[in-house]
């Protein structure tokens, strides 16, 4: 599933190509992908900006915004060929943007701008740009939460943008066992989580995101991510730091990798 670094990498490519182009016409073919829209307004005009919060992209026009959530397997493809998994097509002045999605967990949502702000405000603070106040918000929520820290960090209402790969990485680097209960974490644990979150996400963006062996993630012009060569614990057998065997467990049916030597249960 595309997480923050993958969606941010996509945003940067699209921003370079599409900003200031007029959206001439578009069509969303699939009812499931179109499920949140009651109308598909015509004449959206010129694309002014592409924003991102968490894993969601917002294409901002004068009066409306188009939101893209890529779900498990959504792709935004620039000037590629329409295929049987293409569910939306957007004709700009000079470029054509395709929305492809094999599993169809993603969506395209079009809202008037006065409703658009709400779309982002239900998400927790963006994991890439946490202010001091954002960090306090996250820590306060955690103090009231008795779920595991793994599950807490995956909940987009607590903090937005993290998914399974990067939560595995961050908890490993922070030395925290993913089963630790959120309310047990101390300030020093949170300092570690916040600082590694920034490092892990920045490195992943620099590497154009992570393309796993299923090859699902690809940038809009067909380039694959390179961060899979820089992961510490995700899908590994041996600990990077102590060479101990990595345990592969499931939390909330998500693959979770743990080094019992390096990651302690906080209690
Ligand atoms: Zn270890």
Domains of the chain: 4-121 (3.20.190.10), 132-258 (1.10.8.50)
What pLDDT score was predicted for residue 7?
98
Do 185 and 266 touch, CB atoms closer than 8 A? yes
Active-site residue flag, 8: no
Instruction: State the distance from the centre of ligand 1 to the C-alpha of 164, rounded, in angstroms.
Output: 19
Do 177 and 246 touch, CB atoms closer than 8 A? no
Residue burial 180-189, b: 16+ Cβ < 10 Å; e: rest = bbbeebeeeb
What pLDDT score was predicted for residue 106?
97
Cα 126 to Cα 64: distance, rounded to the nearest angstrom: 22
Instruction: State the distance from the centre of ligand 1 to the C-alpha of 262, rounded, in angstroms.
Output: 4
Instruction: State the distance from the centre of ligand 1 to the C-alpha of 176, rounded, in angstroms.
Output: 11
What is the DSSP track for 119-158?
HHHTSPPBTTS--HHHHHHHHHHHHT--SBHHHHHH-TTT
pTM, full prediction: 0.96
Instruction: State the distance from the centre of ligand 1 to the C-alpha of 111, rounded, in angstroms.
Output: 47
Active-site residue flag, 55: yes
Instruction: State the distance from the centre of ligand 1 to the C-alpha of 180, rounded, in angstroms.
Output: 17
Instruction: State the distance from the centre of ligand 1 to the C-alpha of 259, rounded, in angstroms.
Output: 5
How many residues belong to the chain?
Answer: 267
Instruction: State the distance from the centre of ligand 1 to the C-alpha of 234, rounded, in angstroms.
Output: 13
Which is catalytic among the residues 15, 236, 254, 260? 254
Which is catalytic among the residues 2, 125, 178, 220? 2
Which is catalytic among the residues 11, 53, 55, 150? 55
What pLDDT score was predicted for residue 39?
85
Report DSSP state, residue 194.
Answer: H
What pLDDT score was predicted for residue 231?
97
Instruction: State the distance from the centre of ligand 1 to the C-alpha of 258, rounded, in angstroms.
Output: 8
**Helix and strand numbers, DSSP H then E, in the chain:** 6, 11
Query: Which parts of the chain have pLDDT scores under 50?
Result: none
What pLDDT score was predicted for residue 117?
86
Number of neighbours of residue 207 by Cβ within 10 angstroms: 17
Instruction: State the distance from the centre of ligand 1 to the C-alpha of 179, rounded, in angstroms.
Output: 16
Active-site residue flag, 75: no
What pLDDT score was predicted for residue 49?
98
Number of neighbours of residue 72 by Cβ within 10 angstroms: 13
Cα 232 to Cα 263: distance, rounded to the nearest angstrom: 13
The per-residue pLDDT for range 203-259, each reduced to its tens digit, is 999 999 999 988 889 999 899 999 999 999 999 999 999 999 999 999 989 999 999
Helix ranges (DSSP H) in the chain: 4-18, 113-121, 132-143, 149-154, 164-173, 187-206
What pLDDT score was predicted for residue 1?
83
Active-site residue flag, 52: no
């Amino acid at each position: 599933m595309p997480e923050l670094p993958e969606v941010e990498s996509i945003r940067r490519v699209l921003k370079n190509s599409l900003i200031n182009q007029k959206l001439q016409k578009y069509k969303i073919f699939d009812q499931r992908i179109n499920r949140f829209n009651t109308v598909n307004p015509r004449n959206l005009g010129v694309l002014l900006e592409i924003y991102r919060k968490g894993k969601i992209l917002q294409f901002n026009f004068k009066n409306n915004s188009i939101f893209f959530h890529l779900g498990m397997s959504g792709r935004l493809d620039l000037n590629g060929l329409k295929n049987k998994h293409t569910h939306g097509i957007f004709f700009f002045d000079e470029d054509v943007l395709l929305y492809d999605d094999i599993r169809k967990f993603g969506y395209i949502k079009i809202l008037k701008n006065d409703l658009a702000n709400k779309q982002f405000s239900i998400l927790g603070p963006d994991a890439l740009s946490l202010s001091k106040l954002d960090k306090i918000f996250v820590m306060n929520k955690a103090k009231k939460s008795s779920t595991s820290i793994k599950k807490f960090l995956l909940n987009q209402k607590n903090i937005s943008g993290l998914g399974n790969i990067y939560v595995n990485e961050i908890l490993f680097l922070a030395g925290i066992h993913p089963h630790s209960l959120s309310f047990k974490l101390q300030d020093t644990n949170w300092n570690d989580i916040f600082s590694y979150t920034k490092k892990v996400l920045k490195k992943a963006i620099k590497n154009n995101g992570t393309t796993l062996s299923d090859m699902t993630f690809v940038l809009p012009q067909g380039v694959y991510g390179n961060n899979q060569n820089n992961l510490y614990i995700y899908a590994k057998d041996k600990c990077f730091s102590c060479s101990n065997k990595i345990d592969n467990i499931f939390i909330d049916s998500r693959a979770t990798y743990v080094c019992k030597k390096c990651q302690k249960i906080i209690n």
